[in-house]
Amino acid sequence: MAGTALFLMDVPPNVVFDDYYFSDAWQRVFAVDNSFVVWGLALFIALALRRPALVAFTGAALLHLAFDFPLHHDDARPHFWPVTDWVFESPISYWDRGHYAGIVGPLEAAMCAGLCVVLWRRFESVFARLAILAGGTLQIAPVFLWVFIFDG
């Protein structure tokens, strides 16, 4: 949503991250798509249906949430919605320099790059390597973009 607003709709970063991000509409979306409860239920259904692709997708979502949970401070999400709207305000953040993003961001980028190397070595097809390159770029690019968006 932020990428669409920033790059396709040309909304200024301060409007996206100060207004839109904290709006009721965006927070409702974040409650659903960041819910351990919702994704856990989806994983259970995928397992019950014996759908490997859905198991991988929902498992990846839960893995993302496990790493996302401890990396939000002021912008924490209700990870246990609809059971509760409680949020964990972590002392560290992946983007907020006031909460150690200068350390967390580069560590995240280095971990991602290292895992891309592992995948690159494991998969030799051109399609797989292009997918690894694209995915790695999409994962690492925000670490550098935050510097321009929040310090620029």
pTM for the complete prediction?
0.79
Residue with tokens 């320099």: 97
pLDDT at 95: 81
CA-based nearest residue to 77, from 33, 39, 43: 33
pLDDT at 146: 64
Spatial separation of the C-alpha atoms in residues 88 and 71, rounded to whole Å: 10
Neighbours of 29 (CB within 10 A): 12
* Cβ contact 73:91 at 8 Å: yes
Least confident of 27-31, 78-82, 139-143: 139-143
